[in-house]
Structure 1
Amino acid sequence: MATKATKENDQIIKENNCEIKMGLPCVLEAFTSIFKTGSISNKCCGELVVLGKVCHSALIKRTLENPLFKDLSPAIIIVKSIQTWNNCLTLIDSPPSSA
């Protein structure tokens, strides 16, 4: 079953170009704020919101499936990822217009 989830997440990530929407510094910042401890800057919050919730969720789930992170509690990580997402939405009052 885990393999199927990985394939779905990979598919979502590929279809939405999730991995190229955020710069590496912000990816690391978001990662640290969710998987370790730390805060995410306004700039990176902006990038996270542009990335979108679908990408955000898929990337978190895929990371959780990595054996390197097997000691982490998925429940805690999901809560932290939602908190980070919501904090960023609050910080970024309105997403930048794509026009």
Structure 2
Amino acid sequence: MASFNVYSVLVDLLLTCGAVMATKENDQIIKENNCETKMDLPFVQEAFTSIFETGSISNKWCGELVVLGKVCRSALVKRTLENRLFIYLSPATIIAKSIQTWNNCLTLIDSPSPFA
């Protein structure tokens, strides 16, 4: 049940423009790129787990992450880290995990399918 609350908070953070502690720069990037309209709840949950907790992201959601784009991913991660609910997280660690998840997804998406 606790994980549901974390996901609820994340969805609120990601889907609400102008989180209280967010910088204007990240909010502007998110707004200009329509980042929030490119996500649905299952994607947000799996991407959050992969980046902010211990987990991995499936092939399906890797594709969605790549479609979301590097700019949106970066701005959303930074905005989430600015929220006081996540002050216990190490920004350097989270940003490194975010980049690693992004690179893993790019590799997966770019690799030819054995069934093609």
The TM-score range, normalised by the shorter chain, is: 0.7 to 0.9
Aligned length: 92
CA distance in 2, matches of 1:84, 1:22: 17
Q: Which residue of 1 aligns with 2:42?
A: 25
Unpaired stretches in structure 2, ≥5 consecutive residues: 1-19, 112-116
Percent identity between matched residues is 85
Query: Are 1:71 and 2:110 matched, yes or no?
Result: no
Please name the residue that 1:52 is paired with.
69
For 1:25 and 1:19, locate their aligned partners in 2 and report how far apart those are by CA, in whole Å: 14
Structure 1 unaligned segments of length 5 or more: list them: 95-99
State the 1:23 CA deviation: 1.8
- 1:15 corresponds in structure 2 to 32
**Letter of the 2:88 counterpart:** D
User: With structure 1 as the length reference, what TM-score do the two structures score?
Assistant: 0.87
Deviations along 1:45-83, one digit per CA (max 9) or x if unpaired, are 000000100000000000000000001000000000000
Aligned equivalents of 1:87 and 1:21: distance in 2? 20
| Runs of 4+ residues deviating >4 angstroms | none
SS in structure 1 opposite 2:110?
coil
Q: TM-score by structure 2 length?
A: 0.75
Task: Tell me how large the CA RMSD over aligned residues is.
Answer: 1.7
